[in-house]
Structure 1
Amino acid sequence: MSSHVQSGVNAPATESEKATILVVDDTPENIDVLRGVLKSIYTVRVAINGEQALQRCFSDKAPDLILLDIMMPGMDGYEVCRRLKADPRTEGIPVIFVTAMNETHDEVLGFEVGAVDYISKPITPAIVHARVETHLKLRSAYRFIRDTFGRYLSEEIVDSLIDSPHGLKLGGEKRDVTVLMADLRGFTSIGERLPAETVVDMINIYLGEMTEVIQKYMGTIDEIIGDAVLAIFGAPIQREDDATRAVRCAVEMQLAMGEVNRRYLAKGYPEVQMGIGVNSGAAIVGNIGSKKRSKYAVVGRVVNTTSRIESYTVGGQILISEATRNACDVLLRIDDELKVMPKGISKEMTIFDLGGVYGDEELLLPEKRDEPLIPLSSPVDLQVARLEGKFARETFAGKILALNASAFDLQVEQNCPPLSSLKLILPDTSELYVKVIRHISDDPLHVHTWVTYRPPEAEAFMSQLLAENSLS
């Protein structure tokens, strides 16, 4: 449909910009009158019976609006309208009945079969113009809403918001939801090294793949902040299987990273990995903001806790809360169990490393395998900094004791709790990022870490170190 809607007879428009009106009537005189009224503003097409009208509508160039007579030989206007509204290809085309049948029951039947308006014969040109212009504007606005919301929500949720008379009111309600948060590991550092257009293209490729998966599982994308995605399951529509759909979504998102990286490699971009946290609990959901600007959002501790859980992940990992595990109605593959004390939470909580979902529609990540580490003949000195969010604290000394392509055993001067994030500054001044997986010993302090991001210079240093010590 053309998005151009005329606001006056003299408004200029090219042929490609003009909306197309299909006039359906079996009387040539009526067709001539309507064509004369409309042709200066719109492209007017004609059908002389119901069958021909349906052919025109099901063609590649469907009209933007239909003016439909009721009394026609063969198929009457009511039946034409029923068939149009029953077909997904044409159900959104506004139909206005133009007829001499102006009794109340005639109009009621017209609206029941799906018409949006009713014009009585003999017509008044000003009324025809006003009704046509109004319904073209309404259709254009409806499509804009669907296209805009459709980037973030499933078709079903968009329909619910549009159909609900309270859908856009400010305010919220308390309900149980499952929140999913995903973030690319090390992408901030990648972004500092690449041209802006490359970074934007990488984010768009990643978000395009993830949005498809989230919408497939009927999640609502609440927030996109750079490479981070926050999705809600259970709002605005709540279902019994919200938690199950969220964990299935998380697994499929991780599997979809294979396609993301294939597209990156084809363009010469670096590969990336993603971490996902999932949590369930009570939250306030609804339209938050002011009368001039608002958004559909979720607010509450469940969101903050999800963010903390996600921060503990390494690339390719999904961590879920105990509440989410208990809310799922399918058997989960749990690869590990961790005790954590997130900032802002008063007691220790248990989180689970999710490996997949069993059942009729099995969805599994590859099994995790620990590669053996190669001990270094001489430990390598380096500097270590604890990370708080995106910021590094003061540095302290450390040593690399053993490594493989994706992990280190380190000796460190300061305590580094499990799941804390570290920046390592190597002897050649290149940097890489790791997450502490477990303590090995307390005296001296030895920790096992997993690499979350390594730029090419750090990868080259690691490869050389591995080669030298493999030979020895």
Structure 2
Amino acid sequence: MAQLLDAPEGLELGGAKRKVTILMSDVRGFTALAECLEPQAVMTFLNRYLEAMVDVILAYRGTIIEILGDGLLVLFGAPLSRDDDAERAVACALAMQLRLADTNAPHRQAGLPEVDMGIGIHTGEVVVGNIGSQQRTKYGVVGSAVNLTGRIESYTTGGQILISPTTYAETAAVLTVSDQMTVAPKGIAAPITLYAVSGIGGAHQLCLPTPTETLVALPQALAVRYTVLEGKFAGSTMYGGRVVKLATRTAELHVDQPVAAFSNLKLHLLRPSGEVVPGELFAKVVETMPDEASRVVVHFTSIPEAARTFLDTVRGYEYHVITRAEQV
């Protein structure tokens, strides 16, 4: 940055086309956490989270373009480009996910909800430069590659890193990929393959913990009501469903109205009496069954405290039933 400021033209309005790798991150579960904390505590957590993430991003020489609440937009390759921009972006994402565990630690110890983070990465051509007026100027980025990165991030679940084919092509030799999926993002002419990254070798040697979630069948299905989110807004129609298998952060549902893969849902749990458990859960559909449209697997992205307590009770009951069955 000092090199740019040394040149008078560094502060002029204008732009240039550049090939960059774009990283977008978003926190999942922040709403549930905010409901449990006083306003000052919410801001303390948010600032602690951002301070940790900014430290990681700067260590990997990323350029922070925007901080929008708990979301981050970061460039690798502008204003200065390097040969390893794409590799550093992926390594940065892994380091961010690992650092989040430390940020969550105080809340875990206090019995409060933890937050997860989804990260999307894409490599493409954009226009970068100083945007604004003579009174207010900022270094910014525009282009379809930015929009696509946002689409990629929207497919992530908490704790996940998804990268585009162009980023994968530049980094595949040093990556560990745990999964891949074909998606059709809005505004893209043809479907693309996204890669879920769990590790990177080479100069970085970073690896995410292996998930240990196992869905277990419930002795009695849990009734739910759900609606499909349209953007960040809930749809107007509520549907019914049942939770038939459950883990800590995932569940298998039988739904009355089929939903598409990667849909975002808002759910209410119902007690056996029909009473609604306080609080709204949010989840993303991570798997659909081609042979049975009414069955889906979801990953919970936000679980309020009352719902978490209710599900913990259900899981405890389920554990005891399974243990007794094994002893018989």
Please state if 1:309 is matched with 2:152.
yes
Q: Return the offset for 1:193.
A: 4.7
2:18 is aligned to 175
Return 288-297 or 421-430, whichever deviates more: 421-430
Matched, 1:381 2:245: no
Shift of 1:316: 1.0
User: How far apart, CA to CA, are the structure 1 residues paired with 2:288 and 2:36?
Assistant: 33
Taking the aligned partners of 2:45 and 2:318, their CA distance within structure 1 comes to 36
Structure 1 residue 255 displacement after superposition: 0.6
Q: Is the 8 A contact 2:258 2:293 kept in 1?
A: no
User: How many residues are treated as equivalent by the alignment?
Assistant: 314
What is the TM-score when the length of structure 1 is the normalising length? 0.64
Aligned CA distance change for structure 1 residues 457 and 288 (closer, same or farther; 3 Å): same
Matched, 1:463 2:305: no
Contact 1:276-1:317 within 8 A present in 2 as well: yes
Q: Which residue of 2 aligns with 1:209?
A: 52
Distance change >3 Å, CA 296–CA 469, structure 1 → 2: same
Residues 294 and 254 of structure 1: CA distance in aligned 2, closer, same or farther (over 3 Å): same
- Mark the CA change 1:175 to 1:200 in structure 2 (over 3 Å): closer, same or farther: same
Q: 1:436 aligns with which of 260, 276, 285?
A: 285
1:409 is matched with which residue: 252, 268, 271? Answer: 252
Shift of 1:289: 1.2
Q: TM-score, normalised by structure 2?
A: 0.90
- Whole-angstrom CA distance in 2 between matches of 1:395 and 1:258: 35
Contact 2:213 2:247 (C-alpha < 8 Å) held by counterparts: no
Gaps of 5+ in 1: 1-156
Q: Tell me the residue number matched to 1:282.
A: 125
Structure 2 equivalent of residue 198 of structure 1: 41
Query: What is the Cα-based RMSD across aligned positions, in Å?
Result: 1.8
More strand per residue:
2
Change (3 A) 1:444 1:222: closer
Distance 1:264 1:246, change over 3 A: same
**Aligned partners of 1:452 and 1:461: how far apart in 2?**
17
Residue in structure 2 matched with residue 85 of structure 1 by the alignment:
none
State the partner residue of 1:152: none
Write the distance in 1 (CA, Å) between the matches of 2:250 and 2:213. Answer: 9
Residues 345 and 329 of structure 1, relative CA distance in 2, 3 Å threshold: closer
Deviates more, 1:436-445 or 1:378-387: 436-445
Distance 1:453 1:244, change over 3 A: same
Q: Is the 8 A contact 1:244 1:330 kept in 2?
A: no
Deviation, structure 1 residue 440? 2.6
Distance 1:267 1:460 in 2: 14
Identity in percent: 42
Q: What residue is the counterpart of 1:163 in the other structure?
A: 6
Q: Which residue of 2 aligns with 1:340?
A: 183
The structure that has the greater radius of gyration is: 1
| Alignment-mate amino acid for residue 221 of structure 2 | P
1:35-50 map, 5 Å: none
- State the shift of 1:184 in Å: 0.7
Q: 1:360 to 1:177 in 2, by over 3 A?
A: closer
Gaps of 5+ in 2: 271-275, 322-328
Using the alignment, how far apart are the partners of 2:309 and 2:283 within structure 1? 16
- Decide whether aligned partners of structure 1 residues 264 and 162 sit closer, same or farther in structure 2, where only a CA change above 3 A counts: farther
Shift of 1:444: 5.3
**Alpha carbons of structure 1 residues 204 and 269: separation in structure 2 relative to 1, 3 Å:** farther
Of residues 241, 258, 261 in structure 2, which corresponds to 1:398?
241
The structure with higher relative contact order (CA 8 Å, sep 6+) is 2
Cα distance in 1 for residues equivalent to 2:86 and 2:199: 13
**Counterpart among 285, 289, 300 of residue 451 in structure 1:** 300
Specify the SS of the correspondent of 1:248.
helix
SS of the residue corresponding to residue 25 of structure 2 reads strand
CA distance in 2, matches of 1:455, 1:188: 8
Secondary structure of the 1:167 match is: helix
| 2:286 aligned partner, one-letter code | I
CA displacement, residues 17-73 of structure 1 (integer Å, 9 cap, x when unaligned): xxxxxxxxxxxxxxxxxxxxxxxxxxxxxxxxxxxxxxxxxxxxxxxxxxxxxxxxx
